[in-house]
A and B are shown apart, each in its own frame.
Chain A
């Protein structure tokens, strides 16, 4: 047998040996998979903060994970920790001396929220100043060092690096809604370069905060179907009206196939290829001809040396915004051609919402589970098909199908597009 430890380009094959996930559907792979394939929605009315008067009042909050005291970065860390623990446990890799590879974390940008600003403002009351001068005088007391440790851009990755004793400088990455896929790509590239045999890639996001909700709302990006939150996210439907913000984390243990085999690890799948292309058209819209998205999909296939016909299933970006779903269809059509007609395309976001920085990692986890369990999760809420997007979206109910290769798409604000081609072991 030819050496199957390297790919057609002579690079080490990158296997996945551990998966972990947390979403609004629950904690861990099994709970998530059961609910995902049953077509459940994790979207609900927001209870974290009052939403009276807001245009959007629902989200996919991750209520199964608690952290005290609550803050966005604390929840981001906690979710990532749970997902990573599950992935590492499944990989059965020896962590006695720490996780034996680098850490790549897709995480939202750090930013103080109103509770923190208020605490500072109150503390600075006696300074006689207003605005930021007052906040700064409070900071000068040195009483907020814990806050500083939590709200650095490096905080989430640093916490995880400590907890799992990963090797070297932890990497924090942001390509907006493609971040999770970028974290995986960074790990794949490091293994292909031969720098490491193992890497831990995580995407995590807990952006369901008052101001973030308002800001996305002001961009008219969010669904306002608040009455029945479970039915708000409806990718590829004619009456889709925006995405639903959501939280979660996905983690993958990546490993050279050679290393995984040598230690007798169970191989859950392989990352066959990664493709990127940045858009130079607009900050929130893609080029009308789909050049950048098409390029990213093509580059993933090229990187994997795969033909379009090899794609058995597309795990769509499928945000449920009018613009994204149309562009994704046009781009898939351009690359897969007639093969698209026989390729199921479903969106996990119909059930878990848009987990932003975490989406690429979470959806990679579900894509690999789709391969492993020969079952495609459905697109729910597909009550009114959009005639301009003729896709087999696996409506309503999961479908049994042998799946060898999945294309997982992630497209971000700012024009950063990343596609992964994931394969059976």
Chain B
């Protein structure tokens, strides 16, 4: 690296998902090979989701009035953000919070499914539909919850609850939101445009409106649960299983972290991205160009794959990964979505978080036994590649290592 003082360190991690909350819980759950994923296969049948583990939101969002102003995706995100700040030793340090930049990857807010259902039912039975919608909606919509539906209000709530105020930017675009958030933060730190950042995203998978958004493009897995690599069944287009999760990181310039005596989990050394138009094979080609641009040295390479199970992109990723040995790389692949589900906007940040956790422990996660593609990893863990292929658009890679 040309200038180690502007290295990007991961100094805080905040995770909450179906596996539970906190770093130790995630390490433990993911270190146990063959442990069954946490699923809800009934509520949204034929769809499966990974529900959020029970979480006491009061611990990060003490005011009930704040909680009432949020929908679950925001509570999940604000909670995870608070955990990351706490982990990095920033929480409640107002001077430091005032110089902490906030970067959020967000989708939509949530709709009130029962209100929507009622409106649709009434519309169906009346001819004057527009007037009707107007009669119903003004009474049915809660004013404050409009704010819970705006993408940038996850960031707004994080500022209000945790007092992060230096700057605030929200990226959108499904998986590309998470990629943009991580990549833009990485570049700002490397470019001296900020010292310390809170970056991440959140997803509430237990939402019919969210399921609808993805099913419009036939992106949901609707058969009995399979790990992401095993959804390429005959007659199926694969599909994703959404997972509730909040994943936030504190990314910090090395010099800044050292000055306040913080040790990193890991160093984020490279983030690269692109967008192919996804004609057949293009995603794999784009990923091939990205890894060549990244040019990791040969040898064993732990890979946390963000594969989501949607086809053909998951097969494209497989092609890309199976090609890595030609670059002298010996990949040990783990699709973390098989355990956590797909976090869409939060998925890439979650991958970075899990990579940093593993590097902090110097121990990689065991393979998913049934996958066929995930091989044991016995080398010493000194670097992790995180892949991010959006289910529709976006290709990205991030490389983390252990700081010297």
Binding site for B on A (CB under 8 A): 49-50, 52-54, 107, 109-112, 114, 117-118, 120-122, 130-136, 139-140, 142, 144-145, 147-149, 151-154, 157-158, 161-162, 168-176, 179, 182, 186, 189-190, 192-195, 210-211, 214-219, 276-284, 292, 295, 412-416
Partner of A144, one of B116, B190, B216: B216
| Given A174-B106, A175-B170, also A279-B165 (CB < 8 A) | yes
Binding-face segment, B10-18, B85-93, B107-115, B314-322: B107-115
Partner of B177, one of A172, A210, A280, A284: A172
Q: List 22 A-B contacts (CB under 8 A).
A: A54-B134, A111-B108, A112-B212, A118-B123, A131-B113, A131-B114, A132-B211, A144-B216, A148-B217, A153-B177, A154-B176, A154-B393, A157-B173, A169-B274, A169-B394, A189-B191, A190-B187, A193-B188, A214-B138, A283-B153, A414-B156, A415-B160
B383 to chain A, nearest CB (A): 23
Interface of chain B residues 146 through 181 with chain A (CB within 8 A): 146-147, 149-153, 155-157, 159-160, 163-174, 176-177, 179-180
**Distance A162 CA – B279 CA, assembled complex (angstroms):** 13
Complex contact A283–B147 (CB within 8 A):
yes
Complex contact B134–A210 (CB within 8 A):
yes
Complex contact A169–B170 (CB within 8 A):
no
Determine whether B121 belongs to the interface, using a CB cutoff of 8 Å to chain A: yes
Complex contact B392–A278 (CB within 8 A):
no
Complex contact A130–B121 (CB within 8 A):
yes
Name 19 extra pairs, CB < 8 A, besides A145-B218, A278-B159, A415-B168.
A109-B108, A112-B213, A136-B215, A145-B217, A148-B218, A154-B177, A168-B273, A169-B274, A176-B152, A176-B153, A179-B152, A189-B193, A211-B141, A277-B165, A278-B168, A283-B69, A413-B156, A414-B156, A415-B160
Complex contact A189–B188 (CB within 8 A):
yes
Chain A residues touching B, majority SS: mixed
Contacts of B131 in A (CB 8 A): 50, 52-53
Complex contact B184–A186 (CB within 8 A):
yes
Contacts of A176 in B (CB 8 A): 150, 152-153, 156
| Given A162-B277, A416-B155, A416-B156, also A172-B171 (CB < 8 A) | yes
Complex contact B275–A193 (CB within 8 A):
no
Determine whether B143 belongs to the interface, using a CB cutoff of 8 Å to chain A: yes
**Distance A280 CA – B153 CA, assembled complex (angstroms):** 12
A161 to chain B, nearest CB (A): 6
Size bracket of the B interface: 35 or more
Complex contact A214–B141 (CB within 8 A):
yes
Residue of B165, B179, B392 ringed by the most chain A CB atoms within 10 A: B165
B147 to chain A, nearest CB (A): 5
Partner of B152, one of A121, A148, A153, A416: A416
| Given A107-B172, A117-B120, A278-B164, also A215-B146 (CB < 8 A) | yes
Contacts of B107 in A (CB 8 A): 109, 153
Partner of B169, one of A131, A175, A192: A175
Partner of A278, one of B167, B173, B212, B275: B167
Determine whether B24 belongs to the interface, using a CB cutoff of 8 Å to chain A: no
Determine whether B396 belongs to the interface, using a CB cutoff of 8 Å to chain A: yes
Give the residue name and chain of the A residue nearest to B396 (CB): A169
B262 to chain A, nearest CB (A): 23
A307 to chain B, nearest CB (A): 23
Determine whether B130 belongs to the interface, using a CB cutoff of 8 Å to chain A: yes
Determine whether B135 belongs to the interface, using a CB cutoff of 8 Å to chain A: yes
Determine whether B380 belongs to the interface, using a CB cutoff of 8 Å to chain A: no
**Distance A118 CA – B132 CA, assembled complex (angstroms):** 13
Complex contact A140–B184 (CB within 8 A):
no
Determine whether B270 belongs to the interface, using a CB cutoff of 8 Å to chain A: no
10 closest Cβ contacts across the A-B interface?
Answer: A414-B156, A131-B117, A148-B217, A132-B208, A154-B173, A148-B216, A278-B168, A193-B191, A218-B143, A276-B167
**Distance A50 CA – B132 CA, assembled complex (angstroms):** 11
B72 to chain A, nearest CB (A): 16
Complex contact A118–B120 (CB within 8 A):
yes
**Distance A414 CA – B170 CA, assembled complex (angstroms):** 11
